[in-house]
Chain A
């Protein structure tokens, strides 16, 4: 009997070639246990100032603090900006907002970053992502070709407005925006609808015994339970091929601060530092209504109680991962995209300020098998997350990344004199230069806040403030007039950075 194929057999087999066209695409990467899994858990609008790691008098993270006994705790970690779009852009691309250019709510990063991001660079990983936040969805849309499992956010949501997402799947954000402006009462007290808004409000006032302050909802009023997202995360990761990369961006403790019944009034009798009065810059920013001291105190307590909810659910998630045996070869990163403000007569984060509560965010890194807590006080930036992950996964760190490896991974001593930036350029149109912005630079012990080209503060003789944020983390004592040289150097460095990044857009 002849061995091998004869010419006739070969020709017969070639007739099957067209069917190869219909064969399934390349199979998912085979399980590879040599590479570690990476999990990034982002809790939206989580200020590092409101955690026990920053000496906050309310213990908002009792469970996470226990888990942190086996983690590296970063005490001076800074977001790239003060709201989701630029903050998440920075986290996912390792660049500052002036480079990725996601300035306005609903923007994504520029086309250059379509494959230059956390998902695109870890192309040998099984990449999974979920977010509650529509602004994160808008960014991830650009990366979707590089995400193997991108869970649509409405699948873990419910409520009156969810139907709109299902009805207009290809234009969710605009359809939902219009729907809400039709029926949901705006700050001005108005809606586009005349009659049905009453029915909408009646149906929308759903109460729940578990959530007496109202069922949590994400931006655009879509209800969710964090529990559902955590359960889905656990079950998905249990079945995921390894090595996997998971990016999960949960909504709490973002407002509205609708905590679970278990945590209501947890901090009713625990005092917090005295609230700061409106200052010369904060009072000019009117995109956010001025609040009374009483209002701020109540909102801050509600926020802290909402953090407890996030704390409980993160702890449940972490323990679930441990029980499933996933933590043996998995790095877990716990962080946020930006902070939240309750001072100077302002609240929230949709305001062009970059005070510490808005840019100081938590960062905990849980290494596989880590048994002892390590504390790092060197200042770090959200731009450092991506290069650190690349280092962990054995990938080269591209030159365009503006961050550097977190100190725990670096073989060289941490640079305590490094410059770290945050930027809010929310008025900037896509493809246009930065005409107006608020920027900060932190270097050594100093932090300079700079307000560039705002019409309404033109009358002020100085458009920046300087603080020693190590000795004065509450930013009460403006040193700009007593340390003019330091202020001038920092201002010059910040402006040069912005001008450099802006040059192609000015052309």
Chain B
């Protein structure tokens, strides 16, 4: 444990854990509520609540895995950097990952289509593969903007850490919901 606490205080580790909890729980709760009409239509209300309980448990598990990945990343960063600099990089990397994971689902969720002009461009081009490579590079470039900001602007680092600390407060609420979910699961498995 010493190698952990040498680099990060218990409070910072707890903060990292709470930050890991936030995106997965927000998404799960949003999706379960979106799913609720279907669940209630096809199952009993108690079963639908059970589904939510398990979903929260699985979200907690997934958050723990995300936390471990971020922790490993955080431990690999040089100790010479200030803690705020290290943590802000970890947070930014995590949220870029989360952004793309959400984007891939939003694409399906809102039934998005490839814009017509883009399809026409691909069809009309004699080098469609180059266009696809170019688009990929462009999207990667967009993802790197926060990293560039992080590199050049110390204020951005501090603001990122502050924002994440605020988010952590909401994560406590999610942890309470997790407890309720676990309680539901225990009851369902006993009775």
Contact = CB atoms under 8 A, between A and B. Distances in A.
Which one of B27, B35, B47, B54 has the highest number of Cβ atoms from chain A below 10 Å of its Cβ?
Answer: B54
Contact of B54 (A104, A175, A190): A175
Nearest to B31: A192
A438 B56 CA distance: 37
A454 to B, nearest CB: 14
Contacts of B31: 181, 190-192
Nearest to A104: B42
Nearest to A105: B42
A188 B109 contact: yes
A275 interface: no
A193 interface: yes
A194 B27 contact: yes
Contacts of A173: 47
A38 B102 CA distance: 54
Interface residues of B, number: 35
Contacts of A168: 185, 189
A105 B62 CA distance: 29
A169 B32 CA distance: 23
Nearest to B50: A174
A170 B108 CA distance: 34
A195 B28 CA distance: 12
A272 interface: no
Contacts of A171: 50, 185, 188-189
A181 B27 contact: no
Given A175-B54, A179-B54, A193 B109 contact: no
A196 B109 contact: no
Given A106-B47, A170-B190, A427-B41, A182 B55 contact: yes
B131 interface: no
Contacts of B23: 194
Interface in B74-88: none
6 contacts: A168-B185, A170-B188, A178-B50, A193-B24, A193-B59, A194-B27
Given A181-B31, A188-B109, 19 more contacts: A104-B43, A106-B43, A168-B189, A170-B190, A174-B51, A175-B50, A178-B58, A181-B55, A182-B55, A183-B58, A189-B107, A190-B109, A192-B28, A192-B32, A193-B59, A194-B101, A194-B102, A195-B62, A430-B44
Interface of B: 23-24, 27-28, 31-32, 35, 41-44, 47, 50-55, 58-59, 62, 65-66, 97-98, 101-102, 105, 107-109, 185, 188-190
Interface of A: 104-106, 168-171, 173-175, 177-179, 181-183, 188-196, 198, 427, 430
